Amino acid sequence: MKRNPYEVLGISESASSEELKNAYKYLARKFEEDKYADPPLCDIAKQKLEELNWAYDEIIRLRSSNSSYYASGNQYQSYGSNNQYTDIYRLLDEGKYYEAESRLDAIPEYLRNAEWYYLRGKTYYFLGWYDSAENAYKTAHKKDKSNPKYKEAYENMRGSRDIPYKESDSSSCDAGDLCCSLLCADCCCECMGGDLIPCC
């Protein structure tokens, strides 16, 4: 079975065309043949470049034909099943927040899309870092305003941060209540021979 071209380039099936190009350029620069003059390294670099070229061309071909499972009669694994964020969701569900954070940190910057920032926000939230969570959710929403999940996460976080400690109306105390309490205390003191407020 041939390799999954998305895995070769280190991107998810849902990666944008821009992310695809950036990933290809980044990896191709690492394996330029003129950097490796010695025969063993030169051969490896050449082979790696051929694989990168194949993966890039294959993804373009698959996207243009709307096919994600078959190419040249060979069946690939479903690309979506290897989504780079699936493991991070699982780690968050299992309460392994620091491990999820470590996995997110390992993803190169050029692949950090709105979903990456959303997961970063969830991780920060679970770790109790609410300011950082709000900023990450905000970035996710900015990067993809059409996604309701990102918008809801950001608005919920922002809403809960706007009024962190709202007192209930039943426990409120105004100046009138305070004066009444002091007068009652003064009356009690005078009944027992004392004087809390001398002027009254």
- Residue 114, pLDDT > 70, answer yes
| Predicted pLDDT at 191 | 73
Q: Which of the following CATH numbers is that of domain 86-162: 1.25.40.10, 3.30.70.20, 1.10.287.370, 3.50.50.60?
A: 1.25.40.10
| Predicted pLDDT at 158 | 83
Q: Which of the following CATH numbers is that of domain 5-82: 3.20.20.20, 1.20.1540.10, 1.25.40.10, 1.10.287.110?
A: 1.10.287.110
- Residue 51, pLDDT > 60, answer yes
CA distance 21 to 56: 8
Q: pLDDT tens digits, residue range 126-135?
A: 999 999 999 9
Q: pLDDT tens digits, residue range 165-192?
A: 444 444 456 676 777 777 777 777 777 7
| 36 backbone dihedrals φ, ψ, rounded to 5° | -120, 100
C-alpha distances out from residue 117 to 15, 95, 143, Å: 14, 18, 9
Positions of E strands within the chain: 70-71, 74-75
Residues of the chain with CATH 1.10.287.110: 5-82
